Amino acid sequence: MIKNVNKLVLAAVAGAILAASVTSSAQQAQKPENLIKWRQSAFQVLVWNTGRIKASVEGQYNKEDVIKAADTIAAIAKSGLGTLFAPGSEQGKGWHETTTKAEAFKDTQHFAELGASFSKEATELAKLAEAGDQAGVKAQFAKLGKTCKACHDDFRAKD
C-alpha cells in the first residue's frame, strides 16, 4: 500500500517536472538548423570584430573603432552562446554543416568553463578599450585570443 502511494507520488512529481520542462523547452525550442545558423553567424560577427581590433593594435590605433568592436565582442560573449549548442543540434546545417565536435555536447561542463573564460576576458577588453589603454588592449587582446584557441582546439572540428 505504502509502496503504491510512493509510486503515485513519484509519478506526480515526475509529471510536474516533465510539464515544467516542456513549458520551458517550448518557449525556447528552436529548429537545430536555426541554432546552427545563429551560432555560425555569431562567430562570424566575432571574426569581423576581432579583425578590427587586430588592425588597430598592429597598425594605426583607432580608439572609437576598438571600443565598438570590443563592446560587440563582449555583448556576444555574454549573450548566452551556450544556448545555441542545445541538445539536438549536434549535427546539421546552418549556413554550412556544423563544425562543432561531438565533445561539446558531451563535456558540457568544460565547454561552459571555456565559454565563461572567453566572456571574462572579453569584458576586460571592453573596459580597457573604453579607457583608451592601447598597451592594455594589445595585451588583453592576446589573452582573449588564447581563450578562442583553447575552445577551438577542444571543440571545433576544423579551422
Residues of this chain that interact with its own copies (CB under 8 A) are 23, 27-28, 30, 34, 37-38, 40-42, 44-45, 47-49, 51, 55, 59-60, 62, 65, 68-69, 71-72, 74-76, 78-80, 84, 95
CB 107 to its own copies: min, Å:
24
Contact call for residues 69 and 53 (beta carbons, < 8 A): yes
How far apart (Å, rounded) are the C-alpha atoms in residues 119 and 111?
Answer: 12
Contact call for residues 154 and 113 (beta carbons, < 8 A): no
Between residues 82 and 136, which has the closer beta carbon with respect to its own copies? 82
How far apart (Å, rounded) are the C-alpha atoms in residues 83 and 65?
Answer: 29
- In eight-state DSSP terms, residue 7 is H
CB 6 to its own copies: min, Å:
31
CB 62 to its own copies: min, Å:
8
CB 41 to its own copies: min, Å:
4
Between residues 41 and 99, which has the closer beta carbon with respect to its own copies? 41
Between residues 38 and 105, which has the closer beta carbon with respect to its own copies? 38
How far apart (Å, rounded) are the C-alpha atoms in residues 2 and 19?
Answer: 25
Question: What cell was used for 38?
Answer: 545563429
SS3 labels along 100-148:
ECCHHHHCHHHHHHHHHHHHHHHHHHHHHHHHCCHHHHHHHHHHHHHHH
Between residues 5 and 26, which has the closer beta carbon with respect to its own copies? 26
Between residues 103 and 123, which has the closer beta carbon with respect to its own copies? 123
CB 3 to its own copies: min, Å:
36
